[in-house]
Structure 1
Amino acid sequence: MQVKETLNDGLKRGYTITVTAAELDEKVVGKLKEAQPEVEMKGFRKGKVPMAMMRKQFGPRLMGEAMQDAIDAALNEHIESSGDRPAAQPEMKMDNPDWKEGDDVVVNVTYETLPNVPSPDLSDVALERLVVKADEAAVDEALKNLSESPQAKTFAEKKGAAKDGDQVVIDFTGKIDGVAFDGGAGEDYPLVLGSNSFIPGFEDQLLKAKAGDEKAVTVSFPAEYQAAHLAGKEAVFDVTVKEVRAAKAPELDDELAKKFGADDLEALKGQIRERLEAEYKGASRAIAKRKLLDVLDGMVDFDLPASLVEAEAGQIAHQLWHEENPDHQGHDHPQIDPTDEHKSLAKRRVKLGLLLADIGQKAEVKVTDQELTQAIMNQARQYPGQERQFFEFVQQNAQFRQQLQAPMFEDKVVDHIFAKAKVTDKDVTKEELQAAVEALETED
């Protein structure tokens, strides 16, 4: 078996792998001997089938396996001895496509190797981290917004006609072609007008209704309604309005706090303060991370595998096209060619991805099984009632696990760099933090 270098240009590598006919034949014979004890054939006892007959019966299939095994072994041995790290799956092409048994096998192999990434001195990285404290004004504003949420609303009986935002207490019976249908009736139902919780058009017909009114509300079920036997059909609801209630601003007191799971108002304020500061911290970290990536981008320079850049540019162009054309869900669209801007962004992403991976590897940064399991559990909560199916999907899908693990690894590497860098805290207002976030989004 011979491996001969044919290309060494930057990160591009090319080799010719030659497996002689004698080597292939030896491997085939070895496979036949290994299988012989278990082979049965008419006219022969188990394990006693002559090698010549076995070769005639199984030789062609085993020749293909032997050929692949030999080429794979030669390539793996070469990669291990050379220290190359292919950026993608090597391309392999038969040099003699008209090969027949008895000929040597000659395969041309090409790939791009990952570059040697320089190690920046992380202590030279200087960053500013924005710090915002949740003051009383911010807590009071958040508490006020909370008190105006649907969950906090209370209603009190009112005289006069119902208007948008009022609550009407109703009895109703729905009929199609004069016949009541299952699930179409209710008593003492509190319906907030404008909540869009009923069939489109239902709530509008109760505007200006008064307590004691009886109304016939005619609506049509949507064509895509979940109950197929009702979809697209017209229904008439006999509605009795029993009470009209107006929304009432709740008191900022312990009773309000209990609606949100807190023991009292002070405990609720404490929870709000913690949530606000967590949001501020998250925004601050995103800004600091972006600045860190900008600094790292300027600290080092190295060759990039063209194949990775090309693939990343294509993905960016494809994603942005779909964002600009949200109504086009499929992939049967015109060819999307990356622009120079897409290619520039792709180069940055590939460069920083390789750099962070190298820093993380050298620092022995790991995502633990426990951390990955927790991430999977967090994802599973987005599919209530289907958690088991989600876990089974994750167990069978290594690519999805990698998609979960990659951003976790990156965040841990970023934290490692923060710990090594010179980071200075700067107290700012929430308005200044928001302005910095908006500036970041504009740059993106």
Structure 2
Amino acid sequence: MNVTETLSQGLKREFQVVLNAADLKTRLDDSLQDLQGKAKINGFRPGKVPVAHLRRLYGRSVMSDVLQNAVNEANQKIVADNNLKLAFEPQIRFPENKEEIEAAMEAKGDLAFTVALEVLPKIELADLSDVSLVKPVAEVPDADVDAALLRMAAGNRSYATKGEKAKAEKGDRLIISFVGTLDGEKFDGGTGEGIPLDLGAGQFIPGFEEQLEGAKTGEKRTVKVTFPENYAAENLAGKPAEFEVTVTDVQAPEAVKIDDELAKAFGMESLDKLKEAVSEQIGRDFAAQSRRKLKKGLLDALDGKYSFELPPTLVEQEFSSVWNQVEADMKAAKKTFADEDTTEDAARADYRKIAERRVRLGLVLAEIGEQAKVQISDDEVTQALIERARQFPGQEKQVWEFYRKNPQALAEIRAPIFEEKVVDHLLGQVKVEDQTVSREALYADEDAEETTEAKPKKAAAKKTKKAEAKADEKADDASA
């Protein structure tokens, strides 16, 4: 096997590999000899089938395996001899000349093929001793606890029948039965009985609830609506429908009560214990937001410290992922780039920068983690997998089996764990100062950041902060 480098341009490499006919014949003969000891063919004793007969029966199949093994061996040799880290699996280009391929299959001619590689850049770790970060920390306001308790009480309160002549108002609960039709024909999922509907809650199709305001117990109404264009059921999306609705009861909400009984309804022994639990939960939410902002600051600092050539294919794949989401969201919202005061070319340029940031940070974090010898234990992966399975009640076993049988999917479980460990490692190397802030300050920019990476930015000057934050969260994908 002769290997010659033919291209070294940036992160791209190409090598020509030549497998000479003599080597192919030796490999083929060795494989056939091995097959001879295993083959069971009628008319021959085990282990006594002539090699020539095996060649006639299985020669091409065995040679295909020989060539595949030779290609794999060549790839491993190239990587090892040149100390390369690959960004992608090698791309193999065989000769277009069929006669050359046929000669190689018969071990009567040399086979030359090209191995094209895209390698990862060498990254020199930057000095972070001059990096100073601010970690926003917020105390849990009593008002937030009170507001949470009010929401819990409102969602848990009882309703009482208003009476036959009472008209339904916003905030009331209706008990309804309905039959839906499209062009006069019933459709699956369009029928319901004894369904509670809270007026003003937006539970049903837009326009449905409003047409039931003022209804009385026992009243029948025809409700005409149009399913949203992005409705989950494709056979209904964008189509007009009619519902024959019968109101069987009109109920008014009873007074909200925040007391020990409310606490018991949520499994707590007293209102004080419920307040304590609510405060702790809000505190965890605050801590998570604080961590997100601190991490964003760290990754911003890293992004400013590193500049190197990026593997083109990695960037292109990341950009395609982001751009597909952009187009899907715009289609669902029925918007154009002009609606966002931009152009498709400008939006593409902005989102390509985001893709480049993702890839760059992913590679940096991978290198830092490798040099710091960051490890992920099987227990950590198992725990994360259990948490993922819990997100699908009733399907836990299927989810578990899916990830266990799909290494690439399991890598998506490992990647965030790895990233958080690397972030923890880095936070130990930089200066971090706690800064007490209000709840509003902790969540500042959240509204502005709603322009996610899946939506075009209105102008280049208005950076999509949340898109970059999402890029940070997924930076490890490039190194998974």
TM-score bin (small chain): 0.7 to 0.9
Give the 3-state SS of the residue equivalent to 1:384 in structure 2. coil
The answer as to whether partners of 1:93 and 1:107 remain within 8 angstroms in 2 is yes
Query: Are the structure 2 counterparts of residues 405 and 386 from structure 1 closer, same or farther at C-alpha, using a change threshold of 3 Å?
Result: same
Give the 3-state SS of the residue equivalent to 1:269 in structure 2. helix
1:255 aligns with 2:264: no
For 2:158, give the aligned amino acid. T
Q: 1:161 aligns with which of 151, 160, 166?
A: 166
How far has the Cα of 1:406 moved from its partner?
A: 1.6
Partner of 1:406: 415
Partner of 1:83: 83
Query: Are the structure 2 counterparts of residues 297 and 192 from structure 1 closer, same or farther at C-alpha, using a change threshold of 3 Å?
Result: closer
Partner deviation per Cα, 1:189-229 (whole Å, 9 max, x = no partner): 987556688999699668453xxx65556779999999xxx
The answer as to whether partners of 1:127 and 1:291 remain within 8 angstroms in 2 is yes
1:364 aligns with 2:369: no
Query: Are the structure 2 counterparts of residues 265 and 40 from structure 1 closer, same or farther at C-alpha, using a change threshold of 3 Å?
Result: closer
Give the 3-state SS of the residue equivalent to 1:38 in structure 2. coil
Answer with 371-380 or 296-305: which moved more.
371-380
Partner of 1:21: 21
Give the 3-state SS of the residue equivalent to 2:376 in structure 1. coil
| TM-score, normalised with respect to structure 1 | 0.81
Aligned partners of 2:245, 2:316: CA distance in 1, in Å? Answer: 60
Answer with 379-388 or 351-360: which moved more.
379-388
Query: Are the structure 2 counterparts of residues 59 and 286 from structure 1 closer, same or farther at C-alpha, using a change threshold of 3 Å?
Result: same
1:304 aligns with 2:310: yes
How far has the Cα of 1:185 moved from its partner?
A: 7.0
Partner of 1:179: none
Query: Are the structure 2 counterparts of residues 345 and 36 from structure 1 closer, same or farther at C-alpha, using a change threshold of 3 Å?
Result: same
Partner of 1:180: none
Structure 2 regions of 5+ residues with no counterpart? 180-190, 234-240, 335-343, 451-463, 468-480
Query: Are the structure 2 counterparts of residues 169 and 129 from structure 1 closer, same or farther at C-alpha, using a change threshold of 3 Å?
Result: closer
For 2:421, give the aligned amino acid. K
The answer as to whether partners of 2:178 and 2:193 remain within 8 angstroms in 1 is yes
Q: 1:112 aligns with which of 100, 118, 122?
A: 118
Query: Are the structure 2 counterparts of residues 47 and 430 from structure 1 closer, same or farther at C-alpha, using a change threshold of 3 Å?
Result: same
Give the 3-state SS of the residue equivalent to 2:444 in structure 1. helix
Q: 1:150 aligns with which of 150, 155, 172?
A: 155
Give the 3-state SS of the residue equivalent to 2:140 in structure 1. coil
How far has the Cα of 1:420 moved from its partner?
A: 2.2
Answer with 17-26 or 34-43: which moved more.
34-43
For 1:260, give the aligned amino acid. F
Partner of 1:431: 440
Query: Are the structure 2 counterparts of residues 76 and 164 from structure 1 closer, same or farther at C-alpha, using a change threshold of 3 Å?
Result: same
Answer with 11-20 or 48-57: which moved more.
48-57
Aligned partners of 2:223, 2:10: CA distance in 1, in Å? Answer: 70
Aligned partners of 1:377, 1:140: CA distance in 2, in Å? Answer: 33
Partner of 2:292: 286
Aligned partners of 1:350, 1:172: CA distance in 2, in Å? Answer: 53
How far has the Cα of 1:171 moved from its partner?
A: 11
Q: 1:354 aligns with which of 350, 360, 363?
A: 363
Aligned partners of 1:327, 1:278: CA distance in 2, in Å? Answer: 34
1:103 aligns with 2:112: no
Aligned partners of 2:248, 2:310: CA distance in 1, in Å? Answer: 72
Matching of residues 195-344 of structure 1 within 5 Å: 207=214, 209=216, 215=219, 245-326=251-332, 339-344=348-353
The answer as to whether partners of 1:91 and 1:109 remain within 8 angstroms in 2 is yes
How far has the Cα of 1:131 moved from its partner?
A: 0.2
Partner deviation per Cα, 1:306-327 (whole Å, 9 max, x = no partner): 2212222222222211121127
The answer as to whether partners of 1:28 and 1:66 remain within 8 angstroms in 2 is yes
| TM-score, normalised with respect to structure 2 | 0.76
Larger Rg: 1
Aligned partners of 1:308, 1:190: CA distance in 2, in Å? Answer: 50
For 1:8, give the aligned amino acid. S
Matching of residues 3-152 of structure 1 within 5 Å: 3-95=3-95, 97-98=97-98, 99=100, 100=103, 101=106, 102-147=108-153, 149-151=154-156
The answer as to whether partners of 1:360 and 1:413 remain within 8 angstroms in 2 is yes
The answer as to whether partners of 2:160 and 2:254 remain within 8 angstroms in 1 is yes
How far has the Cα of 1:352 moved from its partner?
A: 0.7
Aligned partners of 2:318, 2:419: CA distance in 1, in Å? Answer: 17
For 2:434, give the aligned amino acid. D
The answer as to whether partners of 2:220 and 2:244 remain within 8 angstroms in 1 is no
The answer as to whether partners of 1:202 and 1:218 remain within 8 angstroms in 2 is no
Give the 3-state SS of the residue equivalent to 2:112 in structure 1. strand
Partner of 2:459: none
Partner deviation per Cα, 1:293-352 (whole Å, 9 max, x = no partner): 110011122222122122222222222111211279xxxxxxx98822232222221111
How far has the Cα of 1:74 moved from its partner?
A: 2.0
Aligned partners of 1:192, 1:436: CA distance in 2, in Å? Answer: 33
For 1:340, give the aligned amino acid. A
The answer as to whether partners of 1:168 and 1:190 remain within 8 angstroms in 2 is yes
How far has the Cα of 1:20 moved from its partner?
A: 0.7
How far has the Cα of 1:286 moved from its partner?
A: 1.3
Give the 3-state SS of the residue equivalent to 1:359 in structure 2. helix
Identity %: 36
Structure 1 regions of 5+ residues with no counterpart? 175-182, 227-231, 329-335
Query: Are the structure 2 counterparts of residues 217 and 196 from structure 1 closer, same or farther at C-alpha, using a change threshold of 3 Å?
Result: farther
Query: Are the structure 2 counterparts of residues 203 and 300 from structure 1 closer, same or farther at C-alpha, using a change threshold of 3 Å?
Result: closer
The answer as to whether partners of 2:211 and 2:223 remain within 8 angstroms in 1 is no
Query: Are the structure 2 counterparts of residues 141 and 70 from structure 1 closer, same or farther at C-alpha, using a change threshold of 3 Å?
Result: same
Aligned partners of 2:44, 2:309: CA distance in 1, in Å? Answer: 63
Aligned partners of 2:150, 2:394: CA distance in 1, in Å? Answer: 34
Q: 2:401 aligns with which of 381, 385, 392?
A: 392
How far has the Cα of 1:259 moved from its partner?
A: 2.1
Query: Are the structure 2 counterparts of residues 259 and 350 from structure 1 closer, same or farther at C-alpha, using a change threshold of 3 Å?
Result: same
Give the 3-state SS of the residue equivalent to 1:127 in structure 2. strand
